[in-house]
Structure 1
Amino acid sequence: MNSKLASLLCCLIMLVSFSGCTKVTQLVKDAQPTKAELLAEINEEHRRYEGGSSDPTPYLRHYDDPADAQKSTDYLTDTYSEYDAAKELNPEEAEEDVNYLFDAFYYDFAFYDYFGGHAVFDQAKADTLQEVQSRDSLTCEDLQKILVSHLTFIKDGHFNINQDYPSEKDIPFFFRQVMFVKTDSGYQNANGKVVASVDDHPDLDELFKRSISEQGYLVYYPVLLKPATFDGTEWEKHTCDETLTVHYTDGSTDTLTADAWSQYYKELPKDQNTDLRQTDGIPVFQFNSFEVSFLQEVNAAAAQMSDAAISMLDLRSNVGGYEEVAHQWITRYSRQRVQGNGVRYDVVNPVSVAIQAHRWQTHDNILILLSGKCSASSAEITMDLAYNLENSLIIGENTNGCMIGNGGHVELPNSKCSVIMTSVCVYLLPEGTDYFEEMRGLSPDIWVPAKEAETLAAKLMENLK
């Protein structure tokens, strides 16, 4: 058999194996909820956390001397010097930078006690100094890598050294070769075969996520979260190391592989801070950071969208910024003050700096928030605010996973390494909240690859009655 014929035969076998499973069958159409039913289901999921409370006690700071609390922001700076990765450091300079960083941890890092206090940080410092002292020569990049390698216990999504994150973050892999629907019989493929089990994944409700087919129908696909290192190479494609074997009650099986994942980020045109566009008649507003400098544009767009029956807020490329901009946008859009489930606490002076009971706000129009792995910090807080606004849908990928902390900046004196660490305040969700986890991110209501979220969301709205 020649190679071309073999390849054709292989393709035919695959087509037969998945025959009809990517086609929108009558079963898929019959399984579609109405728009009102879908909104009611997601509204109920969002309201589960209404009235919950958070406990700041594990996060509170304990200084050796109460007077040390006065230095809780002493190491923070707005200075960003030029960083030269190849610059040589002598041993004394490298050691000085190590000592400086660990002093900054003690005085300024809001999570110092939460991540183990002296016992953990002193050991990390000793290990770091030992490795530094063992080197005959060091560049600034060498020092950066050494520091990062000894700080993997810090699970603060903001924390990084020169955009090198010590801890892994979870990225999503979508298995979309076969579409599934959820019925009274369980999960069924488009041809009606009922899923009995999936190897190594006993909890089917955890594995199968509400999603949207390429034709714009509400379906379910398996989605797995896998840890990935964000060290500046996150733009490259990632592949899943796992296949899924689906067993049906009739004894047949399907073996599914995941789509490759790469981080989605859409630049705005030069000299443009915001973009208000339309997709299939739905207004879509994109802005990539919560900057006060273009607050007027942000608020104007919110006011324009407030009367639309359906609107989209594109946060897939929004890396955060000033939280108050988020509050102003959603206030202008919904014409009411909306509070999130989280409460901000000052961990140095143990009182809440924003004690306001969150409450459910009724809202007739539909707000779709588009999410991706770049959606970070205040973008995630915006989605938490939307959890208390009726008829809000989060569509896309799980977010960055850096909502609890913030972006205080420390610069090391000799290497000029730029260190981002949370200072003073934390944003805490109610006990038992499962829709967000630091490093994993905030889970969307409907899971689709970020790149396709805007198009698929518009198709879904068109299809639902």
Structure 2
Amino acid sequence: MRRLTGLMLCLLLLLSACGTAGPVLTPTPSPAPVPLPSFEDVLTDSNARHADMVDRHLVEDLSPYLCEFSGGDLKAAGFTEEELAALVQYDALYSARTTLTAEEADRDVDLLFRLFRYCFALYEYYGGRKAFDAARAAVEKDLAGQRFITAGRLEEILFTRLSFITDGHSSLNGRPFTPRQRLYYSEEAAFLPDGAGGYVIDGVLPVRLTAVNGGTDLEHWIVPSISPGGRLVWYPGTLAPSGDPAVEAVYTLEDGELNLTLAEAQPYTGYERTPAFSASWDGVPTVTMRDFTDADIRNPFIATGAPLAEEPLAILDLRGNGGGMLSTASAWLYAYGCGGLAPFCGDIGVFLSTRATSYIKAHDTPRRLPFLNYLGTPEQYHDKFMTDYRRRGNYSTLHQSEAVERAEGGGLLFVLTDSASMSCAEHLAAALHGRENTIFVGTNTKGALLGDPGVLTVLPHSGIRVQLSVSLYLYYDGETFDETVGFHPDLWVGGDSLARVEALISHYELQQE
């Protein structure tokens, strides 16, 4: 008993000592939760960004970009008929290993720069004679002293010296003169805006992002997106030239680093390419249009415009749409209530017609077969342009129509794009930027808004295929739209953007019963 009492006394003394030794410890408070972004906030931001594009386009005078012809140039073909015939040998096969003599290379270069003068509507836009003479001199300097050169090496020289041509339609062997910028991104981590201009990592504890690759320009390395579950998130992402190696990036957080590999987002190919047009009115009304060259689907597509405009929520899928007839897109826009193409800035353009372009178009029937349903039979098409070649001269015309007010209100429209959406699809996108409550989802478009499919020729000695635009469409100034980038989406998705949009609609309960 005495022993037990002693033990209890020791225990009481020990507890008393513990209670008085040192300060009382309190747990560290958790970081304040970050408010989740709402869909309404994203829609408001998108409307503001689109309105800013509309307000800033202001390309009021295209007359400096007219291709002027005077004196003997008014009637000159620019080429002998034998040279023109050599330029339309479309059966010729290109090989980078083909060896040219110095004289053959010089003749191809001479033909190319005459093509720029007589067959390129953007000749003055890119600096005219001064710019192209300087480029030619640089090419000739690169060739000087070489007795022989391969077609591949000549092509490399031309790309180097003509890199100021950003037009997405104009190309050498199908490759634009300037590399296109593409989305490089990763979904290994996700971020949320912190409400104070920064970002925190999406997780249990909102840890702040402080830098990327040592810099604090976080917007350059973050893209708004949609998670697989439909939540709005911000993924690591940036733009880089297509075909570049994956981008290595270090995302520095308050408590450590994330080393991420940003890979180029390839166009999603899981969707059906045929039929090129479809419309579904079950669930969320969805119209798919992948080809504006097919005359058979023109009217069914246009017929969806009016009923789609009445829907409070709809999807327009333009992924993989390589363009076609502008009249089809314009007619759909009228039906949809947007007043045709580019309603906010008018239909503005410079159009080039020369004897050389007429001759080339007359012989370029195989490439233009999809358009012949609109223009007549191949024989009629050939005869028309050969008549123009023989009887007409060279001229450049300017067209500009009245602008229409920005379309306000209307239902919510999701427009899906990818890096294969180009040309006419981008003209349609330009017009829809003038309509409120339109959200673009996917990746940036290809970047082929400035020109058109134009004319295709083959340099006779090297076999290099040259495509040049014969129209210039200038909806935006150079700061508002970058041809090498195309249109930015409002929400970037590198995979199946349709599935992500459907998930977003479900998550935020956007569909009205």
Give the TM-score normalised by structure 2: 0.72
1:394 Cα deviation from its structure 2 partner: 0.5
Partner SS for 2:47: helix
In the other structure, the counterpart of 1:147 is 158
1:309 to 307, 312, 334: 312
Matched, 1:211 2:225: yes
| Counterparts of 2:284 and 2:183, CA distance in 1 | 27
1:419 to 466, 471, 485: 466
| Residues 111, 267 of structure 1: alpha-carbon distance in 2 compared, 3 angstrom cutoff | farther
1:72 Cα deviation from its structure 2 partner: 9.4
Structure with max Cα Rg: 2
In the other structure, the counterpart of 1:195 is 209
> Does the 8 Å CA contact 1:340/1:381 hold for their aligned counterparts?
no
| Counterparts of 1:123 and 1:321, CA distance in 2 | 34
Q: Structure 2 unaligned segments of length 5 or more: list them.
A: 1-31, 353-394
In the other structure, the counterpart of 1:182 is 193
1:162 Cα deviation from its structure 2 partner: 1.6
In the other structure, the counterpart of 1:429 is 476
| Counterparts of 2:445 and 2:303, CA distance in 1 | 26
Partner SS for 2:323: coil
Counterpart of 2:291 in structure 1: which amino acid? Answer: S
Number of residue pairs matched? 423
Partner SS for 2:436: coil
Write the deviation string for residues 376-405 of structure 1: whole angstroms up to 9, x where unpaired. 122112111111112111011111122122
Write the deviation string for residues 240-260 of structure 1: whole angstroms up to 9, x where unpaired. 232122233xxx123141342
Structure-to-structure mapping, 1:125-164, within 5 angstroms: 125-129=136-140, 143-164=154-175
| Counterparts of 1:318 and 1:261, CA distance in 2 | 20
| Counterparts of 1:221 and 1:140, CA distance in 2 | 42
| Counterparts of 1:68 and 1:268, CA distance in 2 | 50
| Residues 69, 372 of structure 1: alpha-carbon distance in 2 compared, 3 angstrom cutoff | farther
| Residues 175, 423 of structure 1: alpha-carbon distance in 2 compared, 3 angstrom cutoff | same
1:47 to 29, 35, 51: 51
| Residues 271, 318 of structure 1: alpha-carbon distance in 2 compared, 3 angstrom cutoff | closer
| Residues 329, 79 of structure 1: alpha-carbon distance in 2 compared, 3 angstrom cutoff | farther
Structure-to-structure mapping, 1:26-105, within 5 angstroms: 30-34=35-39, 36-52=40-56, 53-56=58-61, 60-61=65-66, 63=68, 65=70, 68=73, 81-86=90-95, 92-105=103-116
Partner SS for 2:263: coil
Write the deviation string for residues 269-311 of structure 1: whole angstroms up to 9, x where unpaired. 6873323358x93333333332151312322344554444322
| Residues 67, 54 of structure 1: alpha-carbon distance in 2 compared, 3 angstrom cutoff | farther
| Residues 273, 138 of structure 1: alpha-carbon distance in 2 compared, 3 angstrom cutoff | farther
1:327 Cα deviation from its structure 2 partner: 1.5
| Counterparts of 1:180 and 1:333, CA distance in 2 | 37
Structure-to-structure mapping, 1:241-320, within 5 angstroms: 241-248=247-254, 252-264=255-267, 266=269, 272-276=275-279, 281-291=283-293, 293=295, 294-303=297-306, 305-320=308-323
Matched, 1:240 2:240: no
1:460 Cα deviation from its structure 2 partner: 0.9
Counterpart of 1:240 in structure 2: which amino acid? Answer: A
Matched, 1:172 2:183: yes
> Does the 8 Å CA contact 1:58/1:114 hold for their aligned counterparts?
no
In the other structure, the counterpart of 1:444 is 489
| Counterparts of 1:139 and 1:170, CA distance in 2 | 29
In the other structure, the counterpart of 1:22 is none
Counterpart of 1:273 in structure 2: which amino acid? Answer: A
In the other structure, the counterpart of 2:413 is 367
Partner SS for 2:348: strand
Q: Single out whichever of 59-68 and 317-326 deviates more from structure 2.
A: 59-68
1:115 Cα deviation from its structure 2 partner: 2.7
Write the deviation string for residues 138-159 of structure 1: whole angstroms up to 9, x where unpaired. 6655654443343223222222
| Counterparts of 1:388 and 1:295, CA distance in 2 | 23
In the other structure, the counterpart of 1:389 is 435
> Does the 8 Å CA contact 1:51/1:357 hold for their aligned counterparts?
no
| Residues 456, 265 of structure 1: alpha-carbon distance in 2 compared, 3 angstrom cutoff | closer
| Residues 110, 386 of structure 1: alpha-carbon distance in 2 compared, 3 angstrom cutoff | same
| Counterparts of 1:158 and 1:347, CA distance in 2 | 15
1:357 to 380, 383, 403: 403
1:224 Cα deviation from its structure 2 partner: 0.9
Q: Single out whichever of 48-57 and 262-271 deviates more from structure 2.
A: 262-271
1:411 Cα deviation from its structure 2 partner: 0.8
In the other structure, the counterpart of 1:454 is 498
- Identical aligned residues as a percent: 23
Counterpart of 2:475 in structure 1: which amino acid? Answer: L
Partner SS for 1:48: helix
| Counterparts of 1:112 and 1:265, CA distance in 2 | 35
| Counterparts of 1:462 and 1:76, CA distance in 2 | 59
Q: Alpha carbon RMSD of aligned pairs, Å?
A: 3.5
| Counterparts of 1:217 and 1:271, CA distance in 2 | 31
| Counterparts of 1:257 and 1:304, CA distance in 2 | 45
1:334 Cα deviation from its structure 2 partner: 4.0
In the other structure, the counterpart of 2:426 is 380
Partner SS for 1:257: strand
| Residues 350, 145 of structure 1: alpha-carbon distance in 2 compared, 3 angstrom cutoff | closer
Matched, 1:223 2:237: yes
| Residues 392, 150 of structure 1: alpha-carbon distance in 2 compared, 3 angstrom cutoff | same
> Does the 8 Å CA contact 2:229/2:507 hold for their aligned counterparts?
no
Counterpart of 2:328 in structure 1: which amino acid? Answer: V
Q: Structure 1 unaligned segments of length 5 or more: list them.
A: 1-25, 230-237
Partner SS for 1:324: helix
Partner SS for 1:216: coil
Counterpart of 1:39 in structure 2: which amino acid? Answer: L
Counterpart of 2:423 in structure 1: which amino acid? Answer: S
1:412 Cα deviation from its structure 2 partner: 3.1
1:176 Cα deviation from its structure 2 partner: 2.5
| Counterparts of 1:171 and 1:339, CA distance in 2 | 25
Partner SS for 2:108: helix
Q: Single out whichever of 180-189 and 210-219 deviates more from structure 2.
A: 180-189
> Does the 8 Å CA contact 2:321/2:422 hold for their aligned counterparts?
yes
2:127 to 116, 139, 156: 116
Partner SS for 2:233: strand
Partner SS for 2:444: coil
1:117 Cα deviation from its structure 2 partner: 3.0
| Counterparts of 2:160 and 2:339, CA distance in 1 | 46
| Counterparts of 2:42 and 2:84, CA distance in 1 | 46
